[in-house]
Amino acid sequence: MLPYATAEEASVALGRPMTRAEGAWFGYSAAVPDRWLYCHNVPVLLLVSTIAPLPLALLGLTAYKLQPRVRLSPAAFLRCYLDITRVLLLTVGPLSLVSYPAGKMVGIRTGLPLPSAGEMAAQLVVYLLVEDCLGYWRHRLLHTKWGYNKIHHVHHEFTAPIGFAAPYAHWAEVLILGVPSFTGPAIVPCHMTTFWLWFVLRHIEAINIHNG
């Protein structure tokens, strides 16, 4: 929640007029508690999970595929989507609520000024590198005999890749996936808007990888 009652107070504190983006952020977040801003990750990820895979999913139902014998039915797509929605709500939702103190402790901020484009880009590069490194070892761990049999096999139920299957996984794997993604912002703290953008980009990347 921003510590300013009016836009004029915010401009005085900044020592300059707010930019359009800062004005929009002020209008949206001024009266919203930081905890709920942090929890926006849940509806944002659900929105991305619903919209981003949809065009290629529709194409996969109607067009030629390199795996013509494993074409999925509309019912399979729907089952996959409903399962990922359930798992995201039951894992990412509670996780966002309980991890908010950690996010605040590492320095993820909600106030003004907003970060510059250069600052956001530099932070996202760091997050990509950290996530790529830790994600590799996380994946290796889940492909051990124990990790695969107990957890990771769920993610491989869909042998014909589809974007909706990107977050299709055992609930424990969804929680494990959050560790590499959160480590970057924990090392290099950012603004909440950058935090949201990072998880959106990471999720779109995963959807793209699984589109087939």
* C-beta neighbour count of 129 within 10 angstroms: 11
pLDDT digits (tens, 9 = 90+) for 68-107: 666 677 888 889 899 999 999 999 989 888 999 999 999 9
How far, rounded to the nearest angstrom, does the alpha carbon of residue 28 sit from its chain's CA centroid?
20
Work out the widest C-alpha separation in the chain, in whole angstroms: 65
Bridge partners of residue 191, in order along the sequence: 109
pLDDT at 97: 87
- Banded pLDDT at 65 (limits 50, 70, 90): low
